[in-house]
Amino acid sequence: MARQLFGTDGIRGVAGEYPLDAATVFAVGSALGHWVREHGESPEVVIGMDTRESGPRIAAQLAAGLVEQGARPTLAGNITTPGIAYLTRKDSFVAGVMISASHNPYRDNGIKVFGHSGFKLPDEVELELERTILARRDGSNGVPEHPLIVEPSLDNRYLEYLAQIAPNSLAGLKLVVDCGNGASHELAPILLRRLGAMVETIGCEPDGRNINLGCGALHVDKLQEQVKAVGADAGFAFDGDADRCIGVASDGSIVDGDAVLLIAARHLLRKGQLGEPVVVSTVMSNLGFEKALQAEGIKLLRAPVGDKYVLEEMIRSGAKIGGEQSGHVIFLDHATTGDGILTALQVLRVMVETGEPLTELKAGFVSYPQVLINVRVKHKKPLKEMPAVEAVIAQAETELAGDGRVLVRFSGTEPLARVMVEGPTQEKVEELASRIAAAIRAELA
């Protein structure tokens, strides 16, 4: 059975429209309530949300469905996705729900579900929930809402945990943080200042509609400018739910997820704390990153796009760290999901312990030029059924002669074919990517 609701990162869509209309959200709560009653002695569920204006209503609709099934919802308020994952596994909650569309605009929202382990639910459980949701979805008589009062101790508990695993002191460091007007807008500045850093902020004034708007992990130009303008040692940008982090060095250069993984892996290896000399990333990670790891004797394992699949490969291979170029980084000794604030703390730990700036810590990582083209398609079709497209891809790979990569895949959530090419020069990768995209358009557009 193909999944209709759950994508690679929960249920996502435009707030108020299917599958985030009132009837479906209530049914999600009802299905989850039924599931937690079967899987826990005390059917408690913690709910968190980012700063989107639609969050409170979705929380109330979902909570009503939970209550209908005898489950007990608790609201953590504005908190990060990894904060919800932490609370779910450390407290008595059978499940945790994060209401967020991550890096998307404010009109979108989403529902991510975690089990008591702190991990996102396995595909087979999501399929089980889907069947129940679709069977119970009925808005003919209106949908009730169950307003919740925020339990303020919950986000404080998450902050205390981060403080325990942070460097002892960040005194003397000047930092700029861009919270994307999202879930980390209070948590990140409070924690970094408590640790002794001098902190300037961007994107810390959410109004319900400005989340990710020209700021945060997808729009780091303001952060780059501010880091250089104030002479900061580093800058960190988070997305709407703060499960990803993009760094900026003192010279304004970007430190993406690949660079963070390289910095962390090198440091742990030299301290004898890496365990298996393995790092997990995705098919999108840069070839230059892979070669930099190889120079250190570290193997790169590639998983499908999605931190859920990175985590599965980490568990299978015994890797301690893994993540995505986009800034989702998982430190499995400390967290069960990508955590932007934790990622910033781990980078700062390396800076403190080595005394080296970020510009030096990422030395040796030469990023290959990379181009990504999204081709809108009317329908999705296996590549093996498109010999003309396969022939163009094969020709591109021949021309790269092992000094580059071609990746063509369909989006899991949108009607898009994604064409990624990386190689020795920008001109070459743009030419090859355009050629492949044209072939796909001729076949499917």
Catalytic residue among 30, 102, 184, 281: 102
From CA 73, how far away is CA 399, in angstroms rounded?
Answer: 57
Q: Is 367 a catalytic residue?
A: no
How many Cβ atoms sit within 10 Å of the Cβ of residue 277?
Answer: 14
Gap between the Cα atoms of 413 and 5, Å rounded: 10
Q: Is 410 helix (H, G, I), strand (E, B) or coil?
A: strand
Judge whether 281 and 292 are in contact, CB under 8 Å: no
Q: Supply 335's token pair.
A: 């967290």
Q: How far apart are CA 238 and CA 110, in angstroms?
A: 18
Q: From CA 306, how far away is CA 412, in angstroms rounded?
A: 10
DSSP state of 181: T
Rounded to 5°, angle at Cα 288 from 286 and 293: 105
Contacts of 356 (CB under 8 A, 6+ apart): 350
Q: How far is CA 207 from the centre of its chain?
A: 22
Q: What is the DSSP letter of 157?
A: H
Catalytic residues: 102
